[in-house]
């Protein structure tokens, strides 16, 4: 199985006529069994088609055309319009929203997340590449064109959660090369406030029988790793976790942001050193190098199944 999406998941692409969105639509249609993209939305472009996907002015039109609730939406509209697009998706009954857009102010993100919570919807991102279930479906640009995605991702027992889109692929490729496939890989986004953190996705992986272990990519900035450490300790998770921490050099440079907007270190707890200590305390192994991850997670899985 998988988390969040499967072969039957239907979704739309908001902002579908943009250059990146056109590519993303092609990629998702080509990957695995072919994503069920039931429509696209760009205001003023009703009646067009993008790779055979009908374009509508509103989400409501897309839902009406589909004749049933739509599961998800990939939002790729410019930052100034993202909040409105996400509100529109939520108010039209969509329960899973992947926000690709970068550089959205925190206040807007927080508003979107709060409305989603009220309506029982989930947001992945912003500033993310989406979700992939190897060989089955991908929702978002994750892994790139179908051929490239197939090279890096293979089905298997590892859940991958990453604050960096590119590193989701790098780590999954390393796992795949060692014969450890992925159940689902989620690029959660690199901003200071995001829809779904590690800890918020853990219950989903916990409930997924296919998943036997978790690999995460982390960075300095924010409290998400502390939240995960807390969750793991409190909820006595069945899943072993291996983490990779990038940006250790940033500890020497407080107040500077590198890589992603969310990496700015605003307090002592945000540093790489502090996070590594917290993760380790919760029994999460922190890998020094990406290539060490397969052996580490493999050993931890073997250890748990031996008990």
Partner 1 sequence: MRFFEYEAREVVKRAGIPVTDYGFTTEASEAKQIAERIGGPTVIKSQVLTGGRMKAGGVKFADTPEEAEAHARDILALEINGHMPRGVLVDPKAEVAQEYYAGVVWDGTRKQPVMIFSPVGGIDIEQVAEEQPEKVGRRHFSNILPLSDFEAKEVIASTGVTGSALNKLVPIVTRLAKLFVENDMTLAEINPLGQLKDGSFVALDAHMDIENEARGRHKKLLADLGVGDEETRQAREATPFELAGEEVDATDHRGVAGNVTEFDGNLGLVIGAGGGSLTLFDAVRAHGGEPANYCEIGGNPSVAKACGLAKLVLQKPGVDKIAVMMSIVSNTRVDIVARGVIKACLELGYDPAEKIAIFRIPGAWEEEGFKILEKYGVEYADRSVSLNEAARRAVEKIQGVAP
Binds partner 1 (CB under 8 A): choice among 44, 289, 306, 307: 289
**SS3 label, residue 194:** coil
Binds partner 1 (CB under 8 A): choice among 18, 105, 155, 181: 105
> For residues 70 and 149, which CB has a smaller minimum distance to partner 1 in the complex?
149
Name the one residue in this structure whose structure tokens are 């219950």: 203
> For residues 90 and 301, which CB has a smaller minimum distance to partner 1 in the complex?
90
Residue 278 in contact with partner 1, rule: CB under 8 A: no
Binds partner 1 (CB under 8 A): choice among 36, 45, 66, 223: 223
C-alpha torsion 207→294→163→132, nearest 10 = -60
> For residues 62 and 232, which CB has a smaller minimum distance to partner 1 in the complex?
232
Residue 115 in contact with partner 1, rule: CB under 8 A: yes
Do residues 87 and 112 make contact, with C-beta atoms less than 8 angstroms apart?
yes
Angle, alpha carbons 131-137-143 (nearest 5°) = 55
The span from the CA of 173 to the CA of 169, in Å, is 6
Residues 6+ apart with CB under 8 A from 103: 79, 127, 261
**SS3 label, residue 152:** helix
Do residues 135 and 182 make contact, with C-beta atoms less than 8 angstroms apart?
no
> For residues 120 and 255, which CB has a smaller minimum distance to partner 1 in the complex?
255
Residue 134 in contact with partner 1, rule: CB under 8 A: no
C-alpha torsion 158→186→115→50, nearest 10 = -140
Residues from 190 through 209 that contact partner 1 (CB under 8 A): 190, 192-193, 197
Residue 254 in contact with partner 1, rule: CB under 8 A: yes
> For residues 38 and 161, which CB has a smaller minimum distance to partner 1 in the complex?
161
Residue 122 in contact with partner 1, rule: CB under 8 A: no
Residue 291 in contact with partner 1, rule: CB under 8 A: yes
What is the CB neighbour count within 10 angstroms for residue 110?
A: 12
| Residue 118 CB-density burial (10 A; 0-12 exposed, 13-18 middle, 19+ buried) | exposed
Binding mask 140-159 for partner 1 (x = CB under 8 A): -xxxxx--xx--x-------
- Write out the two tokens for 204: 């989903």
Binds partner 1 (CB under 8 A): choice among 79, 93, 155, 181: 79
Binding interface with partner 1 (CB under 8 A): 79-80, 103-107, 109-111, 113-115, 118, 141-145, 148-149, 152, 162-167, 169-170, 173-174, 177, 190, 192-193, 197, 217, 219, 222-224, 226-227, 244, 246-250, 253-256, 258-263, 266-267, 288-291
């Amino acid at each position: 199985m998988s988390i969040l999406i499967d072969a039957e998941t239907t979704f739309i692409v908001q902002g579908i006529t943009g250059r990146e969105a056109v590519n993303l639509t092609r990629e998702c249609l080509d990957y695995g069994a072919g994503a069920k993209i039931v429509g696209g939305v760009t205001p003023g472009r009703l009646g067009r088609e993008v790779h055979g996907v009908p374009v509508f002015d509103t989400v409501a039109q897309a839902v009406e055309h589909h004749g049933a609730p739509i599961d998800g939406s990939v939002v790729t509209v410019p930052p100034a319009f993202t909040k409105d697009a996400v509100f529109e998706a939520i108010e039209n009954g969509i329960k899973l929203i992947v926000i690709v857009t970068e550089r959205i102010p925190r206040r807007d993100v927080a508003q979107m997340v709060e409305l989603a919570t009220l309506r029982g919807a989930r947001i992945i991102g912003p500033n993310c590449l989406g979700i992939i279930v190897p060989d089955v479906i991908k929702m978002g640009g994750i892994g790139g064109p179908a051929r490239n995605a197939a090279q890096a991702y293979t089905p298997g027992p590892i859940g991958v959660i990453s604050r960096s889109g590119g590193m989701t692929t790098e780590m999954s490729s390393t796992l795949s090369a060692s014969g450890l496939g992925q159940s689902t890989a989620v690029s959660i986004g690199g901003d200071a406030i995001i829809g779904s953190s590690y800890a918020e996705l853990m219950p989903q992986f916990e409930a997924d029988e296919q998943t036997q272990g978790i690999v995460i990519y982390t960075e300095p900035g924010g409290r998400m790793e502390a939240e995960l450490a807390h969750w793991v300790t409190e909820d006595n998770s069945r899943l072993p976790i291996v983490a990779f921490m990038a940006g250790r050099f940033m500890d020497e440079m407080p107040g500077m942001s590198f890589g992603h907007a969310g990496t700015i270190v605003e307090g002592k707890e945000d540093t790489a050193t502090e996070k590594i200590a917290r993760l380790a305390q919760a029994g999460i192994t922190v890998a020094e190098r990406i290539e060490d991850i397969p052996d580490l997670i493999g050993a931890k899985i073997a250890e748990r199944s031996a008990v």
